[in-house]
A = this chain, B = another copy of it.
Amino acid sequence: MSNVNIKPLADRVLVEPAAAEEKTASGIIIPDTAKEKPQRGQVVAVGNGKKDEPLTVQVGDQVLYGKYSGTEITISGKDYLIMRESDIYAIL
């Protein structure tokens, strides 16, 4: 997992996307169908959540999120995504 010096605001989360051909130990792959495909990545930084709503995901979690979720940024030459926790479907 990457070590980045960035603090997402509120309910935002910084995610390092998994390489496209990668496959998890539990064997999750993304089906090739007409429906929108979820993407997989690892949480590398999290915000403090909204008032009275702390975040559920933690740094290090493997997560699934929507294909068009988040905004791309590059830190020290690596690509990341900044997204809201509500864009994350599940923790693997």
- Taking Cβ atoms with an 8 Å cutoff, the residues of A that contact B are 4-10, 12, 14, 26-31, 33, 35-38, 45, 47-48, 51-53, 56-57, 64, 66, 71-77, 79, 82, 85-86, 88-92
- The answer to whether B73 touches A7, judged by C-beta atoms less than 8 angstroms apart, is no
| Given A6-B64, A28-B75, A51-B53, 13 other A-B residues pairs in contact with their CB atoms under 8 A | A6-B28, A6-B92, A10-B56, A27-B75, A28-B74, A31-B73, A31-B79, A35-B71, A35-B72, A37-B71, A37-B72, A37-B73, A38-B71
Q: Which residue of B lies closest to A7 (CB)?
A: B91
For the complex, give the distance between the alpha carbons of A10 and B86 in Å: 8
- Evaluate whether A77 and B27 lie within 8 angstroms (CB atoms) in the complex, with A56-B48, A66-B71, A72-B35 already known: yes
